[in-house]
């Protein structure tokens, strides 16, 4: 990824169509899509990954118990940015719609993380080893 302002430079001439504007095309990384709209950054689950998750939860909505579904939602590997939370609540609503249709108990909304977990960016790994070091 390269951040640059628009202008004349050999880079733009050489790369041509490979250059994309992050204001129009989201940057995709680790299952997230980071975009820029209305002057703000937006973080969401990348659309193909979101569709895959939603399909899995809808398929298992009536095959698994409340605790198993709640745990699966709770354990999703995404930080609860605003749009990520919205997507997770959409999944939960789809699950509960299916469960309600067949008279099963609903999955509680408390299984969705609402606050981001603090991360220490320069902390040593828990093992005391440096990343990539063999045990």
- Ordered by start, the domain boundaries in the chain are 21-111
Give the three-class secondary structure for 78: coil
Return the half-sphere exposure (C-beta side, CA atoms, 13 A cut-off) of residue 108.
5
On the 0-12 / 13-18 / 19+ scale of CB atoms within 10 A, 87 is buried
| Span 24-73, pLDDT tens digits | 777 888 889 988 888 888 899 999 999 999 999 999 999 999 999 999 99
Mean pLDDT comparison of 17-21, 61-65, 112-116, highest-scoring range:
61-65
Rounded to the nearest 10°, the torsion over CA 58, 64, 69, 70 is 140
């Amino acid at each position: 990824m390269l951040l640059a302002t628009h202008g004349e430079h050999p880079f733009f001439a050489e790369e041509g169509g490979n250059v994309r504007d992050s204001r129009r095309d989201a940057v995709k990384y680790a299952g997230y899509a980071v975009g820029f709209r209305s002057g703000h950054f937006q973080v969401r689950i990348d659309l193909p990954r979101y569709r895959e998750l939603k399909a899995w939860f809808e398929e298992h909505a009536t095959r698994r118990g409340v605790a198993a579904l709640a745990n699966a939602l709770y354990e999703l590997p995404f930080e609860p940015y605003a749009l990520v939370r919205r997507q997770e609540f959409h999944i939960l609503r789809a699950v509960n719609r299916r469960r309600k249709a067949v008279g099963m108990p609903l999955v509680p909304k408390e299984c969705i993380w609402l606050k981001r977990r603090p991360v220490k960016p320069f902390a040593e790994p828990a093992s005391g080893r440096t990343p990539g070091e063999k045990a």
